[in-house]
Structure 1
Amino acid sequence: MRLFADTRPLKYAAFRRLWSANIVTVIGAQMTVVAIPAQIFHITGSSAYVGLAGAFGFVPLVVFGLWGGSLADVLDRRRLLVFSTVGLIVTSAILAAIAVLRIDNVWLLLSMFSMQQAFFGLNQPARGALLPSIVPLDLLPAANSLNMTVMTLGAVIGPVIGGALIPLFGYQLLYVVDAVFLFATLYAVIRLPALPPKKQPDTRSGLKGIVDGFRYLRTNTVVMVSLLVDVIAMVFGLPRALFPQIATETFNGPPEGGIVFSLLFAALAGGSALAGIFSGWVSRVERQGLAVIIAILVWGAAMTVFGVSLELVSNFWLVSLIVALSALAVGGGADIISSAFRSTMLQEAATDDMRGRMQGVFIVVVAGGPRIADVLHGSVAAATNTTIASAGGGIAVIVLVLACAAVFPAFVRYRVERGGREQSVPTA
């Protein structure tokens, strides 16, 4: 019985280079994830403004994620990755310049964050669509798990280092590190072989291509529900916009960041990383739909416990912090398992000529859902408190996912036979 992560996808050179580059680039990216909300909260002192960053990130992510998915089905995916990676480097450099010049203008900061998310939207559909071209289909669950493990390990290291460095060196250092580390990914995508999509005669780009993608999605109930339950989990269950306020007001941390602020971000990612390290079993699971439902129910329960734990702080400060961090870690572990199965479902179900558009929709859901969550949780916390926003969201996840399981039993019964499928992929 394989317990540790399945590393067989790493024998394929193209995947190995991309995966290795992610080890450093994810750390830089997660430093930016810490810097943006901390800088906004430092400027404004408001979780509502931190939540507003979700809206500024979500709109370009939707537009350019869908457009990027359409482009990935008509253009060479390698060229699209090179262009968008260069754009991410440039925007990180501009964010560093804003911090160096001490321009405390929240709207300028939000605008540059919005531009960064536009390039991210162009980048990710092509990145997801190329995976079945460089890794055999039967290794997709393992490849997705390896990718997510690196992302979550970086999300542990990045926030801890970033949160500790902000009081010492300011936000600019975090943005500079992000820009420099992205050159590793740029090297990896330049080394990829040409990856033109297998276009059909009626494949279209632009708005018409996006419409075709949604029509295709509507015909596949399993993929549609996999996206729906993720929207529910992220929008209602992710309280990250509250982390600055919780660290400052609940646990008496400094307004510019600090160790508790870092630990809140790192705990969520730490649980994901631990689950990823021990994910060797994911390639053997055939009842993927049921696995997704169970994982998201665990996520909802963990977020409920997290919210309730904040009420303990007045009498049991350390207990409250330990329970809160533990709940985030359990939730993070459940999230990576759900994500690995949902990614595999989408990559296996879509034909190559539709993978870009399907990945565009997937990226909008996966990355856009948390942005909506930022707005929702920030607004609810401003009107009530952080406990109601966090615990209430977790309860909503449980109720709505159980409703989806009842309404779409075909998703719960979804099964994939494993083994015996081979394909030609680059090995050097």
Structure 2
Amino acid sequence: MSLLVDARPLRSSPPFRRVWAGTALSTLGGQLAVVAVLHQTWELTASPVAVGAIGLAQAVPMVVFGIVGGALADAVDRRRLVLGTTLGQMVAAGLLAAQAFAGLDSLAVLLGLVALQSACGALGAPARRTFAARLLPADQVGAGLALFNLGFQVSMLVGPAIAGVVAAAWGVGACYAVDTLTFVAALYGVARLPALPPDGTVTRPGLAAVVAGWRFIAGRPALAGAFLTDLIATVLAMPIALFPVLNADRFGGDPQTLGLFLSAIAVGGIVAGLASGPVTRAHRLGLVMLAAAGVWGVALAAFGMAPALWQALGCLAVAGAADTVSVISRGALVQLATPDAYRGRVSAVEDIVGMAGPYLGNFRAGLVAGATTAGFAAISGGLLCVLGVAAVAMATPALRRPGIAARPPSRKEME
């Protein structure tokens, strides 16, 4: 069995290949926009509160429109939904470029456009998550998700560096302009897809459809256990809020060291993505996910104890690799364990859990560090994560079984 990333989806499915390439380019452009928004907000206000408001402008639309997008994805042609929402993101990126070049210097306009782009992305994200399962055979779905994740990790590593160069040479408006142009590739990839109507009976994407989706998840232990594992790993052990304090306490507060913390996680993720062949071919996806979440907790507890910089960076690299393995295995499990009639709504929950967990986890880390020390917050969070994952593993036998496959929803669930 090859240890390298499984590239079969790129060879066997031209539609998937186009979507993957477009998504990778637009994700890279999005990283330029992230840096530009942070820089522009700081230049306008010099206020950490205003910088923090960026997260709020992104999070609220993600939750609200993510729920709506999940119901829509199970009621309308997913290709058309993603095409429309991607076009909306492109328009928002173009308006961000326009306000920067025009020198409006308005925080309200900036945050409003960030919220608009976030809303458009959240509305289409659940439908987009179903593409791998619809375009690829079942034995390649995990590989397809690994390729998407690898593109994301590479963008996270190189995007901010490119943004710094572009912003320094031509200003933040140029970053927004590049982001706008990269959406052309994303639009092309989606436009070339065949029609992708959902295989379900949802005709009105209202509250009843949303509730039915949550009820479906509650009735599938493998799905509920997968989402609970993700929440445990992020809420209890997310370390990013601790980086500045640990950097100041142990490594002199050098900003370059702070940057190395984030880079170490990304490097670990890229290495794991490039060596993801065995993960994507695994028959016990739930067991792989549980093991990876446990390693994530152990690595972050060790990071909290690391006295030397090289040890701290090594622990973060291991944590980044474990996180990538967990994301890939959980994503494949969720898509394969969910009938197409419910994939949009289940994917919406996956998006919300994936977004809310890190925010709550960083908040928890800050509270614990404030009451004790940053080192204790990292160690205790990592160990609690391991205990929580072990409890989920013991309480959810479905996650330990091989071959998790979707079964058709019952008549009651479809009502």
Q: Same fold (TM over 0.5)?
A: yes
Name the SS for the 2:130 alignment partner: helix
Cα offset, 1:284, TM superposition: 3.1
After TM superposition, list the pairs within 5 Å mapping 1:186-205 onto structure 2.
186-200=187-201, 204-205=204-205
Name the SS for the 1:205 alignment partner: coil
Greater shift in the superposed pair: 189-198 or 54-63? 54-63
**Other-structure match for 1:27:** 28
Post-superposition CA distance 1:122-164 (Å, at most 9, x none): 1210011232221011111111111111111121111333355
**Other-structure match for 1:71:** 72
* Counterpart amino acid of residue 269 in structure 2: S
User: What runs of 5+ residues in structure 1 fail to find an aligned partner?
Assistant: 313-318, 419-428
Q: Is the 8 A contact 1:4 1:278 kept in 2?
A: yes
**Other-structure match for 1:209:** 209
Distance, in Å, in 1 between the alignment partners of 2:194 and 2:55 is: 35
Q: Is the 8 A contact 1:61 1:368 kept in 2?
A: no
**Other-structure match for 1:272:** 269
Aligned-residue CA RMSD in angstroms?
A: 3.0
User: What runs of 5+ residues in structure 2 fail to find an aligned partner?
Assistant: 406-415
Q: Is the 8 A contact 1:51 1:374 kept in 2?
A: no
Change (3 A) 1:188 1:213: same
Distance, in Å, in 2 between the alignment partners of 1:208 and 1:359 is: 17
Name the SS for the 2:58 alignment partner: helix
Give 1:402's match in structure 2, choosing from 386, 390, 401: 390
Post-superposition CA distance 1:260-306 (Å, at most 9, x none): 55443332222111111111112332222221111011111222333
The answer to whether 1:174 aligns with 2:175 is yes
Alignment: residue pair count: 402
> TM (normalized to structure 2)?
0.85
Change (3 A) 1:86 1:324: farther
Name the SS for the 1:125 alignment partner: helix
Name the SS for the 1:354 alignment partner: helix
**Other-structure match for 2:341:** 353
**Other-structure match for 2:315:** 327
Post-superposition CA distance 1:202-244 (Å, at most 9, x none): 6541211111101111110011110111112123333335557
Cα offset, 1:181, TM superposition: 1.3
Change (3 A) 1:84 1:228: same
Q: Is the 8 A contact 1:19 1:147 kept in 2?
A: yes
**Other-structure match for 2:412:** none
Distance, in Å, in 2 between the alignment partners of 1:280 and 1:260 is: 32
Change (3 A) 1:159 1:298: farther
Q: Is the 8 A contact 1:53 1:371 kept in 2?
A: no
Greater shift in the superposed pair: 218-227 or 296-305? 296-305
Change (3 A) 1:154 1:290: same
Give 1:284's match in structure 2, choosing from 253, 278, 281: 281
Distance, in Å, in 2 between the alignment partners of 1:306 and 1:103 is: 44
* Counterpart amino acid of residue 400 in structure 1: G
Greater shift in the superposed pair: 238-247 or 362-371? 238-247
Distance, in Å, in 1 between the alignment partners of 2:55 and 2:362 is: 5
Choose between structure 1 and 2 for higher RCO, CA contacts under 8 A separated by at least 6 residues: 1
After TM superposition, list the pairs within 5 Å mapping 1:133-144 onto structure 2.
133-144=134-145
Q: Is the 8 A contact 2:229 2:392 kept in 1?
A: yes
Cα offset, 1:182, TM superposition: 1.8
Q: Is the 8 A contact 1:68 1:122 kept in 2?
A: yes
Name the SS for the 1:176 alignment partner: helix
Give 1:416's match in structure 2, choosing from 398, 403, 414: 403
Post-superposition CA distance 1:343-397 (Å, at most 9, x none): 1111111111111111111111123322333444455556666545544433332
Distance, in Å, in 1 between the alignment partners of 2:42 and 2:243 is: 10
**Other-structure match for 1:156:** 157
Greater shift in the superposed pair: 217-226 or 54-63? 54-63
The answer to whether 1:344 aligns with 2:341 is no
Q: Is the 8 A contact 1:307 1:390 kept in 2?
A: yes
Change (3 A) 1:330 1:160: farther
**Other-structure match for 1:227:** 227
Cα offset, 1:191, TM superposition: 1.1
Percent identity among equivalent residues?
36
After TM superposition, list the pairs within 5 Å mapping 1:295-334 onto structure 2.
295-309=292-306, 312=307, 319-320=308-309, 322-334=310-322
Distance, in Å, in 2 between the alignment partners of 1:58 and 1:393 is: 23
Cα offset, 1:110, TM superposition: 4.2
Q: Is the 8 A contact 1:51 1:379 kept in 2?
A: no
The answer to whether 1:93 aligns with 2:94 is yes
Change (3 A) 1:24 1:289: same
Cα offset, 1:67, TM superposition: 0.8
> TM (normalized to structure 1)?
0.83
Change (3 A) 1:203 1:410: farther
Greater shift in the superposed pair: 292-301 or 278-287? 278-287
Name the SS for the 2:300 alignment partner: helix
**Other-structure match for 1:362:** 350
**Other-structure match for 1:238:** 238
